Amino acid sequence: NAGVTQTPKFRVLKTGQSMTLLCAQDMNHEYMYWYRQDPGMGLRLIHYSVGEGTTAKGEVPDGYNVSRLKKQNFLLGLESAAPSQTSVYFCASSYSSTSGYTGELFFGEGSRLTVL
């Protein structure tokens, strides 16, 4: 019963480096999301996907790219990391509006990224 799995859990980058965070879910959810969590700001939506091959921008998309090549995976990429991207990143998934959506999101345990 894995649910939503994020890798890696911790990463330290230097400014300008690139990296990819991987999210995998085994609940056959249509929708997937990437959030960032910063102290005192709650969670903010970076990008989301409503199905395989489709992605859309959220509230804070600048500096990030995403891909959803397979239904169960949602990748978040940083092409040129900046210190402002130091944060905890959460992936989440949910049912779609036509397949049992209740408003509940299922979250991974987070990926802590530090950019020096």
> 28 vs 97, which CB is nearer to other proteins?
97
Under 8 Å between Cβ of 92 and 39:
no
Backbone phi, then psi, for 53, in 5-degree steps? Answer: 85, 0
> 87 vs 108, which CB is nearer to other proteins?
108
> 73 vs 107, which CB is nearer to other proteins?
107
Residue ranges binding other proteins (CB under 8 A): 4, 31, 33, 40-45, 48, 50, 56, 58, 90, 92, 94, 97, 101-105, 107-110
List residues bridging with 47 in a β-sheet. Answer: 34, 57
Alpha carbons 113 and 98: distance in angstroms, whole number: 35
Under 8 Å between Cβ of 13 and 66:
no
* Shortest distance in whole angstroms from residue 41 CB to other proteins: 6
